[in-house]
Amino acid sequence: MANSINVLFGFLGGTILAVKDGYKVLPQTPSERTFCRLADAKWFLALRWCEQFSTPAGILTNVGQLPFHNEPALTMGADIFIPPEHRPSVFKLCLPLKPLEKAFYGIPVTDGVFCRSMEIQGIEIDPRYGKVALVRECLPERSVISPTSFQPYSHA
């Protein structure tokens, strides 16, 4: 069997297969590419993780760099998405996290009352560099008030 599978595991919503010539990612890339290194296959899935969101999302490194962020974060601007002064604190939250575990961080908006909520996950893509933080902005959930439970305020 020329293309035997040695290892199969899930990573960030995709599957990585170890094959004779390297690593394949499922669902397949358009070119059905084989990655030479496991870290390259993981990096590909991390990029795809960021791109799936309609809200700003990106990858933050231990040195405060954003090597990748999706279109909404690009439109917003990297320094607005995660302001440089908040990056060390955001990254620090990812360090103790186990796989699939999440933490949340609030980035204050200029009025100081409202905060943008950021969901953070810590993953290791390449063991040479340690963890990176997957960060995405979470939109606030809207409260729905049913007309039957609404009590108008009255001036007494």
> In terms of domains, do 135 and 64 share one?
yes
Domain span at residue 23?
A: 1-52
> In terms of domains, do 28 and 62 share one?
no
Assess contact for 76 and 69: CB atoms under 8 A. no
Residue 79, helix vs strand vs coil: helix
Whether residue 152 lies inside any domain: the answer is: no
Q: Which of 30, 52, 74 is the last residue of a domain?
A: 52
Instruction: Give the model confidence (pLDDT) of 88-103 as tens digits.
Output: 999 999 999 988 899 9
The count of structural domains within the chain is 2
Position with higher pLDDT, 150 vs 141 = 141
Instruction: Give the model confidence (pLDDT) of 135-144 as tens digits.
Output: 999 876 543 4
Whether residue 153 lies inside any domain: the answer is: no
Q: 14-53: b or e for each residue (b if 16 or more CB lie within 10 Å)?
A: bebbbeeeebbbeeeeeeeebbeebbbbbbbbbbebbeeb
> In terms of domains, do 136 and 80 share one?
yes
